[in-house]
Amino acid sequence: MGVSGCGKSTLGAALAAHWRVPFYEGDDYHPPTNIERMQRGQPLEDCHRLPWLHNLREIIQKHLDQKSSAVISCSGLKRIYRELLGRESNLWYLWLDLPQPLLSTRLQNRHGHFMPASLLHSQLATLEAPTPDEQFLQLDASQPTPLMLARIDQLLKPVGSPL
């Protein structure tokens, strides 16, 4: 979880490969109208995010039912969104925390992505940081991916893994 540009897709794909579990890129589960809206530079509102979060909850439910692990990238900006996604004891939120100047630089340097850098302000305004009653790990997203993987490995391992 985290705002646009914090590195969810990059870390998510790397973690899933490291753990040899499926990776679900959250952006692939948006209704097309959501992508078009963001492309136009309009932030999503709750009503736009709800069907998207519902799609992602279905994936989470499938893995909970199967007792199998997966990595999913999703901004999860508000507490209510994370409640919709789930609060199960074996569901962890990895919050990629990065200061605004670094986020801006990353978004400006990223090419070929539908999300315009102009939406960063609304992303940061919408973000509700996880609180201690939520099950999350805060990561310093300025770190190189391997360092974050090592930090995650200290705390978590995929279901059924000998790691």
Least distance between ligand ATP and beta carbon 143 (Å): 6
The two tokens of residue 61 are 């439910």
Q: At what angle do helices 145-155 and 8-19 cross, to 10 degrees?
A: 60
- Residue 72 binds ligand GCO, judged by CB under 6 A: no
Provide the CA 20 distance to its chain's centre, in angstroms: 18
Stretch (H or E) spanning 96: strand 93-97
| One residue of 11, 15, 16, 44 binding ligand GCO per CB under 6 A | 44
Stretch (H or E) spanning 126: helix 120-126
- Residue 4 binds ligand GCO, judged by CB under 6 A: yes
Dihedral angle sign, alpha carbons of residues 108, 145, 73, 83? negative
| One residue of 19, 27, 56, 94 binding ligand GCO per CB under 6 A | 27
| One residue of 77, 85, 94, 117 binding ligand GCO per CB under 6 A | 77
Contact partner at residue 130 from ligand GCO, ligand ATP, none, CB < 5 to 8 Å by partner kind:
none
Q: What is d(CA 16, CA 145) in angstroms, rounded to the nearest whole number?
A: 12
Contact partner at residue 127 from ligand ATP, ligand GCO, none, CB < 5 to 8 Å by partner kind:
none
Instruction: Using CB under 6 A, count the residues that bind ligand GCO.
Output: 10
- Residue 82 binds ligand GCO, judged by CB under 6 A: no
Binding site for ligand ATP (CB under 6 A): 2, 4-10, 27, 73, 75, 106, 110, 115, 144-145
Q: What is d(CA 146, CA 45) in angstroms, rounded to the nearest whole number?
A: 34
Least distance between ligand ATP and beta carbon 11 (Å): 6
Give the residue from 78, 99, 94 showing the smallest Cα distance to 154.
94
Chain residues in the site for ligand GCO (CB under 6 A): 4, 26-27, 30, 44, 49, 75, 77, 115, 123
